[in-house]
Structure 1
Amino acid sequence: MILHIREIVNQDLDECVRIIREGFLTVANEFGITVENCPSNGAFIKKERLEADKEKGNLMYGLFCDNSLIGFMQLEKADNESYYLEKLTVTPSHRHCGYGKTLLDLARKIVKELGGKWIGIGIVEENIRLKDWYTAYGFRHTGTKKFEHLPFTVGFMELNLE
């Protein structure tokens, strides 16, 4: 088994859509998130969204196992010191093997190399298991917000890189 991470190119986007949907669908099912009540959720992502994010300059990375994509993450620059980590996912069949941490380690490394001091995330606040996972990595909870268009509360967390 050979693992490697590389930057995503346009030819990878169809496969990225598949992986993001597969990874986010487990959470969507657990928390009653549907295309009707939350069409922007990763479980229902469309290629056009990734194309637009890439065009905006967002950085995208894929984790490959024997040349098959099994994980994904995206970084969006918020300002000179902060980046948002988005769409971090590992396929359900490859979870609990440390691959998510591998992607987080890469995010930390890249943001530091780019001069960033913070990584922010937004998660389903009710997803205690995920919140605990990010907390164990060093993220701290900074607040919550209920958006009218979302069927869950968004929890905000950040990782200080200094």
Structure 2
Amino acid sequence: MIRKATLSDIDKIITITRACATKMIAEKIYQWNEKYPTYEAFENDIKRNELYVLTFSEEIIGSVVVSTLKDKEYNDITWLTVDGNNYYIHRLAIHPEHQHKGYAKKLMDFAETTAKEKDATSIRLDTFSQNPRNQKFYEARGYQKLESIYFPKQSKHPFYCYELVF
């Protein structure tokens, strides 16, 4: 089941993102670390009603942010559509014990359906340049790779921006 997250869910979400970070670091993918994602980021997502959790047997196993807020880092990107009714995906996470079972696909299906129901023109996101599995995942869903952005607190490597036009 997918539902809106509550403040009481944040500790579990942080546990999941930390487990994901540990797994990625073990795979030499330095995308998330102790500085990101933060409790405050999830708290702000909840205040905007944009953070969702995926549950399995009443346990939270994943989360995703489906947002209308365009981060300033995206301002210089040449997007495929004009700014307007675009949605942005952030911090998609599935606990490593539940990965490779279609749960990320389920969260992305939900995000895309949510955006379409709101008459969005597109969904935009970024993913780490050193994470080929994520790139393949989004490209297989029809997302087009665009330009790069940088998040120095996370990595010296770029993040690739993607857009799916409806």
What interval of TM-score do these two structures reach, taking the shorter chain for normalisation? 0.7 to 0.9
Q: Which amino acid aligns with 2:93?
A: T
Deviation, structure 1 residue 11: 1.8
Change (3 A) 1:8 1:32: closer
In 2, Cα distance between equivalents of 1:125 and 1:155: 6
User: Residue 31 of structure 1: SS of its match in structure 2?
Assistant: coil
Q: Could you tell me whether the CA contact under 8 Å between 2:5 and 2:46 is conserved in 1?
A: no
Normalised by the length of structure 1, the TM-score is 0.83
Change (3 A) 1:34 1:84: closer
User: Residue 24 of structure 2: SS of its match in structure 1?
Assistant: helix
Q: Could you tell me whether the CA contact under 8 Å between 2:86 and 2:120 is conserved in 1?
A: yes
In 1, Cα distance between equivalents of 2:64 and 2:22: 16
Match of 2:112 in 1: 108
Deviation, structure 1 residue 28: 3.8
Matched, 1:63 2:60: no
Normalised by the length of structure 2, the TM-score is 0.81
Matched, 1:121 2:125: yes
User: Residue 148 of structure 2: SS of its match in structure 1?
Assistant: strand
Matched, 1:9 2:6: yes
Q: Which runs of 5+ in 1 are unaligned?
A: none
Deviation, structure 1 residue 147: 5.1
Structure with the higher strand share, 1 or 2: 1
Equivalent of residue 67 in structure 2, options 63, 76, 83: 76
Q: Could you tell me whether the CA contact under 8 Å between 2:149 and 2:159 is conserved in 1?
A: yes
Deviation, structure 1 residue 138: 1.1
CA distances 1:16-54 after superposition (whole Å, capped 9, x unpaired):
12112222332244234575xx82x33xx2x22211232
In 2, Cα distance between equivalents of 1:19 and 1:148: 23
Q: Which amino acid aligns with 1:109?
A: T
User: Residue 147 of structure 2: SS of its match in structure 1?
Assistant: strand
Change (3 A) 1:54 1:135: same
Matched, 1:31 2:36: no
Q: Could you tell me whether the CA contact under 8 Å between 1:119 and 1:159 is conserved in 2?
A: yes
* RMSD of equivalent CA atoms: 2.0
Deviation, structure 1 residue 60: 1.1
Equivalent of residue 86 in structure 1, options 90, 111, 129: 90
Match of 2:17 in 1: 20
Match of 1:140 in 2: 144
Match of 1:50 in 2: 42
